Amino acid sequence: MNARYLGAAMKAVTILLIGFSVKGQVEAPDLKHEASPIVEESAGEAGGSPYYRSPRSTFTTLLEVKKEAVEGEPEALEKALGCLDLSLTPPVSRQSVGKKAYYNLIQTIDRLEEVSLEQIPDETSDKEWVYRKRMVPMEEGSVPVEITLHRNAEGNWQFTPATINSIEYYFQFVKNRKVVKGIEEVVTYRDSLLSRFPFLGKKLLFFTVWQWVGLILVVFIAAVLERMLSRLAKRFIQKAFEKKNLKIAIPKSEVFLIPLRLLIYSGVLRFGLDWLFLPIKLINALQQASILLFTIGLVWMLLIAIDTISSYFAELAEKTENKFDDLLVPLLRKTSKLVTFFAAIIFLAESLWDNVAGILAGFGIGGLAVALAAKDTLANLFGSLTVLLDRPFQIGDWIHIDDIDGTVEEVGFRSTRVRTFYNSLITIPNNMLINTSIDNYGARRYRRFKAVLGIEYHTDPQKIEAFCEGIRQLIITQEATRKDYFHVYLNNLGHFSLEILLYVFFETPDWSAELVERHKLLVNILRLGKRMGVNFAFPTQTIHMSQADAPDSLIDIPQDTYLYGKQTARDVSASPITMKHARSGIKGSDFPDDVLG
């Protein structure tokens, strides 16, 4: 989306949100006493703050701090808001609604009469005390209004939620009256502005003229801040990327600016509502909407930041030989996103509802049932922690689990994904990894290669010995072979060939490199055999044909066969052609000095 169009759309949405939220604000207030907690104790029992211990104390506090509270002095404002039962107002809009309700309450009482505190009870056994209750005529008809106090669960006397809901209509009814003689009128910047420029107080559509002016000014301030901060953020992001030479998945810094604009507009709207002096219900709705948009923008920005930082560290991880960071980066990325979402939910819950801690504590009671229902999920989570801490394998390792054989592609909270050698993707629940043996071929330092080389039966024994020694030398000279342990020996007399055992290890990082080294060794063995005149055998059948008068080519064996065999064996042993000790590994650069034997 083009940034210019996005900014214009946000400005329009801000104005429309306020305009359409006004619909329904003229409805008569519900004066039924909603579920605000009231205790069943007698008035004589001690409880609560001394500022609000009785109806008289609350009225006294209300009137004593009115000038300082309306001007915004923090300590006075805190005492003033303590006079109001805002328990049914969402926490996010509690202060804004409280300020407006307190102002309306003070202005209404000052226009009704000079309060005689002696006539207000300092002790009462009642749960509620009514100062005023009546019907007032409005454009939409008669509306019930009241000024009533009740005792809350802490023992404090406060003006009821019904009072807060109806006081705006009560003030509209009496606002054209003058303040009762002898009472100092509380004047705000708004009152001074309207007294100088009366036309600003005229109603235009849903708002007065000065509220429309203020709304336009709020949107203008938001637009200016958005333009300034967006440029600064864009410049900072581009310089940071260029300095670090980042190659990230997000191609444009414009992506970062969208949630930034959302944060700016929702933040300015939230703090501009007090200045606009909008109706209480509208303030309540807009404060909740602004905190929701602010949270969405913040989460959006954090998710983009997590993806960007993860991409940066993933790029660094690719340059290291250790594969543990290849496993750790994706897991931390998912963990960070999960923590971000969880924190956002808690933040929104605390902003919109009371007693979130009690709700969370309630999960402790139902936690057992949840744990039983989610035992597999928890087992998978512990499995992922086991993989992370114990590190039985890493990303890219070739592993074998039960009947699964393949390369590890990804490790998540719930499962591990393995790419098989026929290119399918198998998902293994992490709880299997706790109780299953894992054969990690990728953790091998050496990769074993075993083969049987079959050569023809008529090959001369001296040539066989030389051929085996030549293969040993090929193993020694090849760079990727293990030099301290290997075997090359005539190992078996097969059905159709003399079988030479080739048992060697390659020091390679993966299977592809191992195949390259195998290929290299086998080609060199074929070249060696060709030069030495050693022919490799294959399954054959030989048919001997002879004539009846052909000379007997068999060796004459003396009649004493046992003596002949012993003597011939002694002659062969006396002239060996094989080294005395095993030639299965070198020390230094060659085999140790040895003798025939």
- What are the DSSP E strand ranges found in 412-516? 415-420, 425-429, 439-440, 447-455, 487-493, 498-506
Q: Which of 142-151, 213-222, 532-541 has the lowest mean pLDDT?
A: 213-222
81-110 tens-digit pLDDT: 999 999 888 888 888 888 888 888 998 999
The average pLDDT across 333-337 equals 84
- What are the DSSP E strand ranges found in 111-191? 128-138, 141-151, 157-159
In a 3-state reduction of DSSP, which class is residue 162? helix
Report d(CA 536, CA 530) in Å as an integer.
Answer: 9
pLDDT of 283 above 60: yes
Tell which phi-psi region holds residue 200, choosing left (phi > 0), alpha (psi between -120 and 50) or beta.
alpha
The residue among 314 and 343 whose pLDDT is bigger is: 343
349-399 tens-digit pLDDT: 888 876 666 555 555 555 555 555 556 666 766 777 777 777 788 777 888
Q: Note the pTM of the prediction, 2 decimals.
A: 0.56
Residue 387: closest CA among 412, 419, 418? 412
Query: What is the predicted pLDDT for the residue at 46?
Result: 46
Report d(CA 385, CA 379) in Å as an integer.
Answer: 10
394-419 tens-digit pLDDT: 777 888 888 888 888 888 777 888 99
Residue 510 CA to its chain's centroid (Å)? 32
pLDDT of 57 above 50: yes
pLDDT of 3 above 50: no
Q: What is the CA radius of gyration of the chain?
A: 45
188-199 tens-digit pLDDT: 777 777 777 777
Report d(CA 297, CA 292) in Å as an integer.
Answer: 9
Distances (CA, A) of 442 to 76, 297, 389: 70, 43, 18
The residues, ordered by sequence, that sit 6+ positions from 279 with a Cβ below 8 Å of its Cβ are 22, 25, 168
**DSSP 8-state code for residue 184:** P
207-245 tens-digit pLDDT: 777 778 877 888 888 888 878 887 787 777 667 666 655
